[in-house]
Structure 1
C-alpha cells in the first residue's frame, strides 16, 4: 500500500511549493510594509471608492436592465471574436464543413444583434 502512496509524492511536493509561494506572495508585502513604515492608514485611504471617485449614492440602488443587456451582448461578441481566430487557422483542415458551420454561427449572432437592436437594447436615454 505504501508503494501506491509513494506515487503521489511529486503531486504533494508541487502542491506544497505552490501553497508556500502563494502564501509568501500574499503575506510578504504586508509584512514588509508594516516593517518599513509605509503602512499609514488614514480616513482618505480607508474610504470606499469605485472607478476612482467616492460613492455618491446607495450601493444597493438598482441598475437599469439595459446595462446588463449591453454587457451580455459584449460578452457574446467578444467570444465570437475569440472563436474566429482558431477557426481561421484550422479552415484548411475543416474545408467547406467548417466554413458553413461558422457562417451559420455568424448568421445566428447577426440575427440576435438585429433583434436586440430592434428591441432598443442598445439605445441610451
Structure 2
C-alpha cells in the first residue's frame, strides 16, 4: 500500500505541475520571439562582422582560473612538501602571467 501511494504521488505531482504550467502560461507569439537567436549575432546579416577579442580573453582567463581551482581543490588532503611546492609553483606562474598581461595592457577595456 505504501509503495503504491508513493508511486502514485511521484507520478501525479509532476503531471499536475505540467498541466498547471500549460494552463497558466500565455502564448503570445510575436516576430521577436519567433526569430532565431544565435550567440547575439543576427543570422540574417553578414557572418564576418568584427567582434570584441576581449570576450575571448575573459573566457580564457575563466578557463585558466577554473582549471586552477580544480587542480588546487584536493591539496588539503595531500598536503606535504612536494604538494606544497607544486601548488606554490602553479599559483606563482599564474600570478606572473596575469601580471604580464596586465603590464602589456591586454586587460584595458578602454583602448
TM-score range normalised by the length of the shorter chain: 0.5 to 0.7
Contact 1:70 1:121 in 2 (8 A): no
Q: How far apart, in 2, do the equivalents of 1:46 and 1:58 lie?
A: 13
Query: Which has the larger share of helix?
Result: 1
**Structure 1 residue 65: Cα displacement:** 1.4
SS at match of 2:74: helix
Deviation at 1:46, TM superposition (A): 3.6
Q: Which runs of 5+ in 1 are unaligned?
A: 1-28
* Runs of at least 4 residues off by over 2 Å: 38-50, 57-62
- For structure 2, which runs of at least 5 residues remain unmatched after alignment? 1-17
**Residues 12-40 of structure 1 deviation map (CA, whole Å, 9 limit, x = unaligned):** xxxxxxxxxxxxxxxxx8xxx6xx8x795
Shift of 1:109: 0.7
Decide which of 42, 57, 69 is 2:29's aligned counterpart. 42
Q: Which has the higher relative contact order, 1 or 2, with Cα contacts under 8 A spaced 6 or more apart?
A: 1
Aligned counterpart in structure 2 of residue 123 of structure 1, from 103, 108, 111: 108
Partner Cα separation in structure 2 for residue 108 and residue 85 of structure 1: 17
Alignment correspondent of 1:75: 63
Question: Structure 1 length normalisation: TM-score?
Answer: 0.52
How big is the shift at 1:84?
1.8
Residues 116, 122 of structure 1: 8 Å contact kept: yes
Number of residues of Structure 1 aligned to a counterpart in Structure 2: 88
Partner of 1:6 in structure 2? none
> In structure 1, how many angstroms separate the alpha carbons of the residues matched to 2:82 and 2:29?
63
Question: In 1, Cα distance between the equivalents of 2:97 and 2:83?
Answer: 21
Provide TM-score, normalisation by structure 2: 0.58
